[in-house]
Amino acid sequence: METLHETLEKNKKQKEFYNTKKKSIPSKIWSFVREKSLKNIRKELGILQQSYALHKEWMGDLSQVKVLDLGCYSGNNLSRYLAENSKEYIGIDLSELAIAKLNEKLKNIPTAKAVSMDFFSDDFTEKNFDLIYAYGVLHHFKNVDNLIQKLDEKLAPGGKIISYDPMETSRPIWFIRKLYRPFQSDAAWEWPFSRKTIRKFENEFEIVETRGVLGKSKWYFLVSFLPISKEAKLKWGKKAHQKDWEKSATSKSHLHKCMQLNMLMQKK
């Protein structure tokens, strides 16, 4: 099990990586595939828009809410929304370069600020957050137990966590990731959720709602090669996505077929 000291040391390397973005050739290829295929699929099928809308719905009225935007880099899709609508907003990320860019975006919002700091560092003393927003962040921690303890420590009573992370609970995706992992530049801090990871969160927090994406619809990239009309392809993809969206809310077996997970948790 990775110790807290090991996590802090690893995060120093992660900080350097995100400041320089030096990647191996396989990592560059994977990034290209991910950006040009998965991201485009999510846009075409409306997955991103639906996920962001759900996150806003889960956030509710932010006027009296203290928000931590965890691992926000230079700002995610909802960073400005959170900063403008919350009682207090703090963005945190390892990269000083990214945080400088975010602070420039926040300069006209007096209740918002961003800091470059390690979430696990003793120097980060802020707590009693009503909401922790973690878009593409929670899977960066190998020791989930330490992460859960820190999240619980930082949350106010009844506080919420809204997250979006990759999973490797689908066998085809698990297999592909195992083949790629030895060549992955950022493998040390990339730990897509397993069934065990999800159970650990379930044991410590109330899982209010889950929505998986890219379950059946992940095969849309293969359908796109079929000699049929664009309209027919989109119709199939959107229908498959809607099935993923609806069934993953109530069926764990279907949720585990998905590649990515929206999750709303609450402190018990």
Q: What angle do CA 249, 252, 255 make, to 5 degrees?
A: 65
Tell me: pLDDT of 96 over 80. yes
**Close Cβ partners of 85 (under 8 Å, ≥ 6 residues apart):** 62, 63
Per-residue pLDDT at 13: 74
Query: pLDDT tens for residues 160-203?
Result: 999 999 999 998 887 777 776 666 666 666 889 999 999 999 99
Q: For residues 102 and 90, give the distance between their C-alpha atoms in angstroms, rounded to a whole number.
A: 11
Q: What is the C-alpha separation between 62 and 84, in angstroms, rounded?
A: 9
Closest by Cα among 33, 50, 40, 39 to 241: 50
- Cα–Cα distance measured from residue 239 to residue 216, given in angstroms and rounded to the nearest whole number: 10
The better pLDDT of the pair 187, 126 is held by 126
DSSP-based three-state secondary structure for 79: helix
Whole-number Å distance between alpha carbons of 19 and 185: 14
Compute the mean pLDDT over every residue in the chain, rounded to the nearest whole number. 90
d(C-alpha 242, C-alpha 217), whole Å? 9
Report the alpha-carbon distance of residue 221 to residue 223 in Å, rounded: 6
What pLDDT digit, counting tens, does each position of 202-225 carry?
A: 999 999 999 999 999 999 988 988
- pLDDT band at residue 38, thresholds of 50, 70 and 90? confident
Q: Residue 192: its pLDDT value, please?
A: 94
- The closest of 193, 77, 96 to 141, measured between CA atoms, is 193
Q: Does the pLDDT of residue 4 top 90, yes or no? A: no
Mean pLDDT of 1-23: 74
Residue 17 CB coordination number (10 Å): 17
Number of domains in the chain: 1
Q: Are 186 and 156 in contact (CB under 8 A)?
A: no
Count of Cβ atoms closer than 10 Å to residue 107 Cβ: 10
pTM: 0.89
CATH number of the domain to which 123 belongs: 3.40.50.150
Higher pLDDT, 191 or 17: 191
Nearest to 258 by CA among 221, 223, 222, 210: 210
Residue 18 pLDDT > 80: no
Number of H helices, E strands in the chain: 12, 7
Structural domain that includes position 263: 4-267
